Structure 1
Amino acid sequence: MFQKRNLLLIMLTFVLLFTFSVGCNGDKEVGEEPGEEELALEEGTYEGSSYGHNAEIEVEVTIEDEDISDIEVLSHEESEILTDPVFEEIIPAIVENNNTNVDSISGATVTSLALVSAVEDALKEAGAEEYFEGEMVEVDSASEIADSTYDVVVVGGGGAGLVSAIEAKSQGADVVLLEKMPYLGGNTLVSGGEFNAPNTWVQENPDIDDSVDQFVEDTLEGGDYEADEDLVQTLAENVTEDAEWMKDYVGVEFVDDYLMHFGGHEVPRALYPIGGSGLELISSLEERALDDEIPIKFNTEAKELLTDEDGRVVGVKVEDHEGEIANIEAEDGVIMATGGFGANIDMTQKYNPDIDDRYNTTNVPGATGEGILMAKEIGADLVDMEFIQTYPTCNTQTGHLSYVADTRFDGAILVNQEGERFVEELDRRDVISEAILDQTGSVAYLMWDNHIKENSNMDNYMTEFENLKETDQIIKADSIEEAAEFFEIDVDELKNTVEQYNEYVKQGEDEDFNRRGDLLELKEGPYYIQEVAPAIHHTMGGIKINEEAQVIDTEGEIIEGLYAAGEITGGIHGNNRLGGNAIADLIVFGRIAGDNVSK
């Protein structure tokens, strides 16, 4: 039963993540009249469960007088950013209407379905032979919108939008933040949250030799020198100060004795937030925004940029999920921070036909590129749109970014079905992704031992680990032979590969692929092997900006009143973004945009 439900939810992820207001109504059609049959529920409390994104959602349902009187969530491993609108809206709707036929929360479909399914599981224990069926219950989690005026309008509630809004507010501006989803975070929420900065307080501890110039060179080289050098220089010169701002002003907590060494960087320089995910960043940014009394309008989608007779951007036309329209005017300017288009397969294929159906996506469902197209409509220049990055080590079934696979940065090796290494594990993401697709089955196998596990932050991600085990994407075994046989990897060749690699570790040089970073032997059980595959991860192209985060038109002129920051912009990363540079990018240019729009 569990495996069937898990498979169903995985399939629903692909089908439903890009649809909005999808109902969970069994065989009934929306609007069908309630049935006549008696459900004869027995009074008492009953427990039920269903699988969400990460693990089981467990609920307790109380029945009084054959009605649902209360629902309590006993446990879950979903992101609180996602569950807040789901639990706060769907649970009261079920109780009030005595009906599990409710809307899903847009962008949180899997969590919504899992909650409803868990309640229905409990109802079966209470004696229901059928689920509660009846007219679809509308779930309204929209913010109220009306024609209004602010100094600054920020469009997009991901990392870049939150940083921009907070900075503009700190400069004295009256700011409003518009978000089309019912929750904050964007792609930042599902990222690892790590970001690169040279000469930080953490680098001082291990005495790493780093510099702004080295950061610039790594970034330019990593993008094949296709990036705008002025933007890269601006990024490198500001990110260390902005890291301090994130720590001291926003309140993000970082691990003070650990740095990630992403591929393409000469030295480890990525700050690592507590918990090892973007949740720490978004939670801290949200708390700061609320403390600063910045109004946030959820389920409010920007549809058009408003301009005056001189072409200056003076506001945004918005629409809520019920079709209500309003004009939000901006006295000082509009900051576009709506993210990239990695969840829009039509758009990715339009600009890069090589990004085909071999790839899932790590992106949140809101990353569909409308902000880029809105800016284009008023003359904004677009750059590097064909540069679309894939992430090499993702969940092979859902495309979700795998945090467990971060063991790659701490010593794990990549092998193929034949048991052979085929690429440097710390090479660029695009290089590794293409190399994986060239292997048997278009997948690879990440392997590590207990020593490497203890050297990593894998313990932070045991929920994901258990999920991977449940879906047969990872094995923990006492021997190399047992681990290899699970995935039908050539055992003899894998043992030869490990033996040869351990020799390279002893001599301090990887003669096959010149692996950077620390080299660690694989010799201490238990052994782990994880099946991985690439997925669409980041779109490097977007709106053209200058070093002041002002949007540039197709004639090379500034579009007055319009700024942009984050993944919506292009030109900063060239044709390949180095790991840890996306968060750095959104923080630096988010602050620049927020500061300049307020002047």
Structure 2
Amino acid sequence: MRPGKQTLLTVVLPSIVLIPAIALILNRLMSATTAPSSTRSAIVVGSGLAGLSAASQLIAHNVPVHLLERAAKPGGNSIKASSGINGAPTRFQTTQDSLFYEDTVRSAGNAFKDSKMRECRQKLVTTLTNTSESAVYWLNDEKGVDLSRVGQLGGHSLPRTHRGAGKLPPGAAIVTTLLKSLQQSPLFHLHTGSLVTKVLKSAESVEGVEYSEGDETKTLHGAVVFASGGFAGDSKGMLAEYRPDLAGFPSTNEAIPGSQKLLTAVGAQLLDMELVQVHPTGFVDPKNVGALVKFLAAEILRGEGGLLLLNGKRFVNEMETRQHITDVILSTPPVDTSPQQWDIQLVLDEGAYNALSSHVDFYIFKGLMRKATVSELDPSGVALPSIQEYAKAAAGLASDPFSRKTFGSWVLKEVKPDSIVYVGRVTPVVHFTMGGVLISQDAEVLDADGKPIKGLWAAGEITGGLHGDNRLGGSSLLECAVFGRIAGDQAAAFARSYH
């Protein structure tokens, strides 16, 4: 690696799709793919963490895998995940944690009041939370991904979101590690630029997929695992169909159509399609204010002490759920209408910066955050009293007026006009779709009668029923690892029994 690229890698992090050093790693992994095997294979659609987890389990069972990715490079949205992966209880936590299930159900809100689907939802959440410890250990101990640091995100009762101590964010560290591991196996075949256009189904079971690669239409036969993500960027398609009120919002997702209808065509049941998460903090790039696709301001920025200001004043408990914070922001008028966005300031002190220097340095590098004094942040002087009030609460000298209880790594006690802060403008952004195809605890795709569709599994954001009204930060990577591994195990058993 050239010195210049090595230096960039040590500086940077979250949206590493744009980082040359990571692109180089992915290019090397892709160039090493082997020719397809004639052995009966399994097919995984999507190369984010859910797909890679499924592929890893299939390979562990000696089942050949064809992984189809429609983008030019693998990794999906998982490679951009920057806050971490939930797990409880783990040896990395300093406090006993038995509240993960309760926090997840509480975050899911009204969805759990639906008696018809409650049992199904409870089973999914139970599987997610009960398997979270082993998922973290699988990545940390077996795959070698450092997840030893633990932070607390909004909506969580305790710190349980794991990340590493290195320069790479957890999503990038996990994805590149799994890709490298998979690429060492002759059973693994990666196809990029391959768009699945049809699921092949006989009277008895799913038999494979049809896909386009350039100008060619091809088919693959075998057990099928779908891990192709959600539709949060599909503003003119599925998002417009299910949530037309959000079509004018910016998004953290590229404008890629959702894949759910490929599965409904073979009988899959959809659930919660109208439940779309609007994340409260997507960066507004001062160089391109009107951009429709935004970088996410990682939730760990608030978890480690970041506060939010509207017109120079705090207005919410920053450790509340994403839905609550977003609702408070949306109750105020936007400052821009195309796209619809707000002018919220995200502010960190030196303590929060030191805990997240690789994150913040990257955002500064991209022009999304800046180092400033309090007086530069707000020359009118409105912000200083609000920040001072927050600092007193963080120091335990006063109760927080918004009932915030945890303040991460914030250390600033006496706020002055020349106090150093790190600041960026943020706005609510369409981020995640909680709805999708309904699956069982075994990641089987279920039909309208709640029965498994033989030969078909799904994991990750393409599924519905798990998160309800609001997804907790850190549970996206977790559901990918948990249900991706389950799907891989189940598909392997099916593939090996096929005659």
Is the CA contact (8 Å cut-off) linking 2:26 and 2:74 kept in structure 1?
A: no
Structure 2: 5+ residue runs without aligned partners? 1-7, 113-120, 336-341, 494-499
The CA RMSD over aligned residues, in Å, is: 2.9
**What does the per-residue CA deviation read over 1:523-563, in whole Å, with 9 as the maximum and x for residues that have no partner?**
36312221111211111100100001001001221111100
Map residues 362-381 of structure 1 onto 2, 5 A cutoff: 362-366=252-256, 368-370=257-259, 372-381=260-269
Match in the other structure for 1:187:
77
- One of 313, 318, 325 as aligned partner of 1:425: 318
With over 3 angstroms needed to count, the CA separation of the structure-2 counterparts of 1:386 and 1:145, relative to structure 1, is farther
Write the distance in 2 (CA, Å) between the matches of 1:260 and 1:85.
29
Is the CA contact (8 Å cut-off) linking 2:35 and 2:189 kept in structure 1?
A: no
Give 1:251 deviation, angstroms.
2.4
Q: What SS is found at the alignment partner of 2:378? A: helix
**What does the per-residue CA deviation read over 1:303-346, in whole Å, with 9 as the maximum and x for residues that have no partner?**
11111122x10111111022x1111000xx21111111111112
Q: What SS is found at the alignment partner of 2:239? A: helix
Is the CA contact (8 Å cut-off) linking 1:77 and 1:463 kept in structure 2?
A: no
Write the distance in 2 (CA, Å) between the matches of 1:152 and 1:178.
11
Write the distance in 2 (CA, Å) between the matches of 1:404 and 1:350.
28
Write the distance in 2 (CA, Å) between the matches of 1:465 and 1:420.
23
Write the distance in 1 (CA, Å) between the matches of 2:84 and 2:318.
18
Write the distance in 1 (CA, Å) between the matches of 2:203 and 2:489.
26
Q: Residue type of the partner of 1:422?
A: F
Is the CA contact (8 Å cut-off) linking 1:361 and 1:535 kept in structure 2?
A: yes
Write the distance in 1 (CA, Å) between the matches of 2:440 and 2:100.
20
2:335 equivalent to 1:448: no
- One of 385, 390, 414 as aligned partner of 1:496: 385
Write the distance in 1 (CA, Å) between the matches of 2:394 and 2:211.
58
Write the distance in 2 (CA, Å) between the matches of 1:549 and 1:462.
39
Q: Residue type of the partner of 1:413?
A: L
What is the TM-score when the length of structure 2 is the normalising length?
A: 0.84
Is the CA contact (8 Å cut-off) linking 2:299 and 2:473 kept in structure 1?
A: no
- One of 142, 157, 165 as aligned partner of 1:266: 157
Match in the other structure for 2:225:
335
Write the distance in 2 (CA, Å) between the matches of 1:146 and 1:548.
28
Count the aligned residue pairs: 451
Match in the other structure for 1:78:
19
Q: Residue type of the partner of 1:261?
A: Q
- One of 466, 471, 476 as aligned partner of 1:577: 471
Q: Residue type of the partner of 1:222?
A: S
Higher mean displacement: 241-250 or 532-541:
241-250
Is the CA contact (8 Å cut-off) linking 1:250 and 1:285 kept in structure 2?
A: yes
Give 1:412 deviation, angstroms.
1.8
Give 1:147 deviation, angstroms.
11
Map residues 5-404 of structure 1 onto 2, 5 A cutoff: 78=19, 80-82=21-23, 150-192=40-82, 194-203=84-93, 206=94, 208-211=95-98, 214-224=99-109, 226=111, 228-254=121-147, 256=148, 258-273=149-164, 274=166, 275-293=168-186, 294-310=188-204, 312-322=205-215, 324-330=216-222, 333-346=223-236, 347-357=238-248, 359-366=249-256, 368-370=257-259, 372-396=260-284, 397=289, 398=291, 399-403=293-297
Give 1:230 deviation, angstroms.
0.6
Higher mean displacement: 273-282 or 259-268:
273-282
Structure 1: 5+ residue runs without aligned partners? 1-51, 57-75, 90-140, 486-490
**What does the per-residue CA deviation read over 1:244-263, in whole Å, with 9 as the maximum and x for residues that have no partner?**
11122222122x2x312111
Write the distance in 2 (CA, Å) between the matches of 1:586 and 1:529.
32
Write the distance in 2 (CA, Å) between the matches of 1:197 and 1:453.
24
Q: Residue type of the partner of 1:517?
A: T
Write the distance in 2 (CA, Å) between the matches of 1:356 and 1:179.
26
Match in the other structure for 2:118:
none
With over 3 angstroms needed to count, the CA separation of the structure-2 counterparts of 1:238 and 1:87, relative to structure 1, is closer
With over 3 angstroms needed to count, the CA separation of the structure-2 counterparts of 1:500 and 1:463, relative to structure 1, is closer
With over 3 angstroms needed to count, the CA separation of the structure-2 counterparts of 1:465 and 1:509, relative to structure 1, is same
Match in the other structure for 1:594:
488
Q: What SS is found at the alignment partner of 2:132? A: helix
Q: Residue type of the partner of 1:571?
A: G
Is the CA contact (8 Å cut-off) linking 2:207 and 2:455 kept in structure 1?
A: yes
Q: What SS is found at the alignment partner of 2:466? A: coil
Q: Residue type of the partner of 2:103?
A: D
Write the distance in 1 (CA, Å) between the matches of 2:125 and 2:230.
19
Is the CA contact (8 Å cut-off) linking 2:152 and 2:300 kept in structure 1?
A: no
Map residues 460-499 of structure 1 onto 2, 5 A cutoff: 460-468=359-367, 473-478=368-373, 480-485=374-379, 491-499=380-388
Match in the other structure for 1:512:
401
Give 1:288 deviation, angstroms.
1.2
Is the CA contact (8 Å cut-off) linking 1:145 and 1:326 kept in structure 2?
A: no
Write the distance in 1 (CA, Å) between the matches of 2:318 and 2:243.
25
Give 1:379 deviation, angstroms.
0.9
Give 1:188 deviation, angstroms.
0.1
Percent identical across equivalent pairs? 29
Give 1:389 deviation, angstroms.
0.6
Rg comparison, structure with higher value: 1
Q: What SS is found at the alignment partner of 2:479? A: helix
Where relative contact order (Cα < 8 A, 6+ residues apart) is larger, the structure is 2
Q: What SS is found at the alignment partner of 1:186? A: coil
Is the CA contact (8 Å cut-off) linking 1:85 and 1:182 kept in structure 2?
A: no
Q: What SS is found at the alignment partner of 1:246? A: helix
**What does the per-residue CA deviation read over 1:500-531, in whole Å, with 9 as the maximum and x for residues that have no partner?**
22333344664421113236454363122211
Write the distance in 1 (CA, Å) between the matches of 2:327 and 2:247.
13
Q: Residue type of the partner of 2:60?
A: S
**What does the per-residue CA deviation read over 1:338-381, in whole Å, with 9 as the maximum and x for residues that have no partner?**
11111111211211122131x21112454x212x1100111100
Q: What SS is found at the alignment partner of 1:182? A: coil
With over 3 angstroms needed to count, the CA separation of the structure-2 counterparts of 1:496 and 1:339, relative to structure 1, is same
With over 3 angstroms needed to count, the CA separation of the structure-2 counterparts of 1:287 and 1:449, relative to structure 1, is same
Give 1:436 deviation, angstroms.
2.6
Write the distance in 2 (CA, Å) between the matches of 1:83 and 1:365.
25
Match in the other structure for 1:114:
none
With over 3 angstroms needed to count, the CA separation of the structure-2 counterparts of 1:571 and 1:79, relative to structure 1, is farther
Write the distance in 1 (CA, Å) between the matches of 2:298 and 2:473.
16
Is the CA contact (8 Å cut-off) linking 2:444 and 2:453 kept in structure 1?
A: yes
**What does the per-residue CA deviation read over 1:247-306, in whole Å, with 9 as the maximum and x for residues that have no partner?**
22222122x2x3121111100001103322411111001011112231111111111111
Is the CA contact (8 Å cut-off) linking 1:148 and 1:327 kept in structure 2?
A: no
Write the distance in 1 (CA, Å) between the matches of 2:109 and 2:397.
29
Match in the other structure for 1:535:
429
